[in-house]
Amino acid sequence: MHAAALSYFREVARSGSIRRASGVLNVAASALNRQILKLEDELGTPLFDRLPGGMRLTVAGEMLLAHVNDTLHEFDRIRAAIDDLKEARSGHVGIAALDSLLVDFLPRALDRFRVDFPAVNYTVTAHQPADIPRMVSDGDADFAFTFVPPQPAAGVRFLAEVSAPIGVIMRADHPLASRLALSFEDVARFPIFTQPGPLPRAADADPEFAAFRASIRPRLESNSIQMLKLCVMLNMGIAFFTRLGFLHDIETGELAWRPFVSPGINKLRIGLLVPATRALSPPAQQLARRLADDLNRFAATV
């Protein structure tokens, strides 16, 4: 039923009179009466008892009114969402993230988003996990992806989270790929590639992994994840990352990812970090909502 007809019915029910509803809606009483009669004809039952003092809802009318209230509330919500879409057609979104998410997850997400929002521009930068919460709270980034810390930082909150343990990324034909999980002793026998910088604070949950990583003498160290990825693909060695940076290559069978047997490192989570009090711009809000959906879908498959 048309939203206008439902609104007319609701106002007549609230006012208890077609004449009073006519004044509130600035619609002719005859037009209101025609709408009420049309609804009653479509439903095949009276919606009001016509009394000398006005209009009183019948039982059927009470049922319809409950439906109308729910319907119009949902209609208003959808209309507000459509207005947000209109405002989000253009603008700029700043994203800070762990560098591994810039390899696969975020580029593919932005490619999907640009279909509906082709005029939105982006700044996407990689940062150390410890620096990311401050960037969001200070407004240097609209939102971000980082490891979920043991204690949340002030001024930010996680909109969505997903399990993201650090594991071993390798060529699919690497000898370790035949195992379901790996010990530190297993991987120590092969050339290892690492990135400079400290571990995320969340990794403190596994002091054994932290001690193992500190003991590594890497065959190659680089702050370029693209270089590390190519060296892994060339079968020069293995590296330690979450799966989110290599989802496409894992799905196509070029790379393999295996978890460590150490339980602490498997508790790590990555989340979508947004301001706790500052409102996002319309394009940032739309993109954050879709990225949260992506994380939730991924979480449902692991």
Question: How far apart (Å, rounded) are the C-alpha atoms in residues 93 and 88?
Answer: 10
Contact present, 259 and 137 (Cβ < 8 Å): no
The DSSP string of 79-143 is HHHHHHHHHTTEEEEEEEE-GGGGTTHHHHHHHHHHHH-TEEEEEEEE--GGGHHHHHHTTSSSE
The three-state secondary structure class of 292 is: helix
Q: What is the model's pLDDT at position 1? A: 47
Q: Do 128 and 257 lie in a common domain? A: no
Q: Do 42 and 104 lie in a common domain? A: no
Q: Which of 276, 274, 275, 270 is nearest to 295 (CA)?
A: 270
Q: What is the model's pLDDT at position 196? A: 86
Number of H helices and E strands in the chain, helices first, is 11, 12
Question: How far apart (Å, rounded) are the C-alpha atoms in residues 33 and 23?
Answer: 13
Question: How far apart (Å, rounded) are the C-alpha atoms in residues 252 and 92?
Answer: 33
Q: From the first residue on, what is the mean pLDDT of each consecutive set of 10 residues in the chain (302 residues)?
A: 77 90 88 90 91 89 88 74 64 93 93 90 92 93 92 90 94 96 96 85 75 92 93 96 91 96 90 93 91 89 70
Q: How many CB atoms lie within 10 A of CB 204?
A: 13
Q: Do 158 and 206 lie in a common domain? A: no
Q: Which two tokens stand for residue 253?
A: 């069978």
Q: Do 295 and 146 lie in a common domain? A: yes
**Whats the size of the chain, residue-wise?**
302
What would the pLDDT profile of 79-119 be if each residue is shown by its tens digit?
Answer: 766 666 665 577 899 999 999 999 999 999 999 999 888 88
Q: What is the model's pLDDT at position 258? A: 97
Question: How far apart (Å, rounded) are the C-alpha atoms in residues 245 and 225?
Answer: 9
Phi, psi for residue 186 in degrees, rounded to 5 = -60, -50
Residue-number span of the structural domain to which 139 is assigned = 88-164+269-301
The three-state secondary structure class of 241 is: strand
Contact present, 165 and 258 (Cβ < 8 Å): no
Indicate which CATH number applies to the domain containing 16: 1.10.10.10
Question: How far apart (Å, rounded) are the C-alpha atoms in residues 248 and 103?
Answer: 10
Q: Do 12 and 81 lie in a common domain? A: yes
Q: Do 176 and 251 lie in a common domain? A: yes
Q: What is the model's pLDDT at position 108? A: 93
Indicate which CATH number applies to the domain containing 152: 3.40.190.10
Strands 119-126 and 90-97: parallel
Domain endpoint, select from 86, 105, 126: 86
Q: Do 7 and 73 lie in a common domain? A: yes
Q: Do 14 and 63 lie in a common domain? A: yes
Q: Which helix (H) or strand (E) holds 160?
A: strand 156-163
